[in-house]
Structure 1
Amino acid sequence: MISAEHLKGITAFVQAADAGGFTLAGERLGLSKSGIAKSVARLEERLGVRLFNRTTRRFALTAEGQSFYTTCVRVLAELENAEAALNEQRLRPRGRLRVDLPVVFGRRWVVPILLDIGGRYPELSLEISLTDRRIDPIEDGIDLVIRIGDLDDSTTLVARRLGLQKSVVCASPAYLESQGCPASLDELDDHSCIVFGRGGQTLPWWFVDGKGAPFAKPVDGQFAFNHSDAICDAALAGRGIALLSTWLIDDHLGNSRLIPILPEIETRGFPINALWPHARHMAPKVRVVVDELVNRFLPEPPWDMST
């Protein structure tokens, strides 16, 4: 078996041959000229041959040195390739990755990305759950969570911002033609608003005042749904005014099937984050998904590019 000292001598020998001398070889390896010369001398002694012809004017490989150099370069290259292959295998995403996503946003914007990643990494198995219930990743054994909204203080989770959910007040052209367009938030009280409701409770709409502080505006109307897709469908059908996320209605805004209302009034944005449990080293299977989401969603999300 080759010893560490022997391998060190071979490395010094190859570097000296490539550099044409001990001085430059030492600089490349971070060693002194004498250190390189001694390593090569010990290697020559073990081999029982002279590897270099060294004079004050000439530094060149001997015939034996040239033959040995060719073999050493090939062997060192094979070692480097073996190490690179091992690192690539170790860093390649593999195994089961459990991901939890918000239902509508996840299906529309995250699932296609996960499908692309799965196609690139066949050794990666993805288990994807779609729910708007806030889960505990550690208790539920989830590797990665995508969450929209303010984060709870947690020392057990790592967060990576993916963007900001923006919303617009909007309605269909048919509704605005028949009912008119409100000129202020107060005039929303005279219109039918399509709201998010559950269990007899409806959620207010959130805006930002001139000082940047968020405030809630109570709204009401004929229709209340517990699903944003249904609210969008009702707005498209001309049943009222809705507050909808741009990631949901980017196509409808682009082709004017929905018209923004009160654009001068800022709506409150909610952060979009990727969350995963703390670990000493980020698992490659988590890293590849987070990196891809960052690349796709930042600095400008694709759903805001067409609006």
Structure 2
Amino acid sequence: MDRFSELRAFVDVVEAGSFSGAARETGQSRSSVNRLVIALEERLGVQLLHRTTRSVSTNSNGRALYERAKQILSDLEEVELSVTAARRVPVGKLRISAPHSFGDLDFSDIVAGFLKQYPQVQIEISFENRLIDPVTEGYDLVIRVAEPDEETLLVDHRIMTLDYLLCASPAYLKEHGVPKTAECLKEHHGLSLLQSEQSGFWGLLGPDGPVKVKVRPVLRANTMDALLKAATEGLGIAVLPEYAIRSDLEAGRLEKLLSSYQLPSRMLQVIYPPARHLSANVQAFSDFVSDWCSR
């Protein structure tokens, strides 16, 4: 028997809660559905379902197989659709992992814009700062900010280079003074991201070469939004990406500091397992993020 047919029948039975329900949903006979599930259990050598006269439920083996089977069938469907010219419209679930810092600022606008353009897609987003393995954790794609030359074994869609700036509010600078050199930063209040190499030290490239300055963070947070709010409220000096503070610089709520120094840039990337490169959902979202950032 076709192994995919067995898996489909098993998933249909679990989701319908009975063999007769699965048969009605799929237009098959109850005996055909039952025969496919029995063949699957015999081939695997384990029982997958608890059966009663009225309903069925999964045991531990069945629950484990159900999640994997759904993903396998979803992948198969996407591969089939990807080579069918008439069906390139993204549809179905898209699981995304992104850093906490993308939970605010513009990322919500990107997701909203994508869903308006592709209303048949359902997005699940998890915001985490830890390093995510999309293969083992079941994500379709991962948004991450990494070193420009950092390599990965996954498919790496590089979106844009992020330039970082030192900034503070006019009120803070009026009270604490404007730092003239990197060494002066030691005397100031720092605002830093948690779980960042910049949290305890700020590395800069100045007129005389690289310099590493130990800072006194009065606030460490895991979102850029919290640091941006603290900076505009005059609580200290922050290192933030230029795109995130552009409007505040233009409005005079923040001022750029130490223009003769440069901070290390980072790369905004969309990464995903090689098996997902045919996914219409993944390709559409990657392209949408790229187009949004270019605008």
What displacement does 1:129 show?
Answer: 1.5
Determine if contact 2:100/2:223 at 8 Å carries over to the other structure.
no
User: 1:268, 1:144 → 2: CA distance?
Assistant: 25
Based on CA coordinates, which of the two structures has the bigger radius of gyration? 1
Determine if contact 2:168/2:254 at 8 Å carries over to the other structure.
yes
What displacement does 1:271 show?
Answer: 0.7
3-state SS of paired residue (2:228): helix
User: 1:236, 1:227 → 2: CA distance?
Assistant: 15
What displacement does 1:152 show?
Answer: 5.4
What displacement does 1:196 show?
Answer: 3.7
TM-score (norm 2): 0.64
User: 1:223, 1:290 → 2: CA distance?
Assistant: 33
Structure 1 residues 102, 196: CA separation in 2 closer, same or farther (over 3 Å shift)?
A: closer
Specify the alignment match of 2:102 in structure 1. 105
Determine if contact 2:277/2:283 at 8 Å carries over to the other structure.
no
Aligned pair 1:245/2:258, yes or no? no
Unaligned runs of 5+ in 1: 1-85, 303-307
Aligned pair 1:190/2:193, yes or no? no
3-state SS of paired residue (1:229): helix
Deviations 1:151-178 (A, max 9, x none): 75432x1001111221111111111112
3-state SS of paired residue (2:115): helix
Aligned pair 1:260/2:256, yes or no? yes
Determine if contact 2:92/2:121 at 8 Å carries over to the other structure.
yes
Aligned pair 1:289/2:285, yes or no? yes
Q: Give the 5 Å matches for 1:192-271.
A: 192-197=189-194, 202-209=199-206, 216-271=212-267
Determine if contact 1:171/1:241 at 8 Å carries over to the other structure.
yes
User: 2:86, 2:157 → 1: CA distance?
Assistant: 25
Structure 1 residues 131, 280: CA separation in 2 closer, same or farther (over 3 Å shift)?
A: closer
TM-score (norm 1): 0.61
Q: Give the 5 Å matches for 1:124-139.
A: 124-139=121-136
* Aligned-pair identity (%): 30
User: 1:191, 1:93 → 2: CA distance?
Assistant: 50
Determine if contact 2:202/2:215 at 8 Å carries over to the other structure.
yes
Counterpart amino acid of residue 253 in structure 1: L
Aligned pair 1:154/2:168, yes or no? no
Unaligned runs of 5+ in 2: 1-83
User: 2:117, 2:96 → 1: CA distance?
Assistant: 17
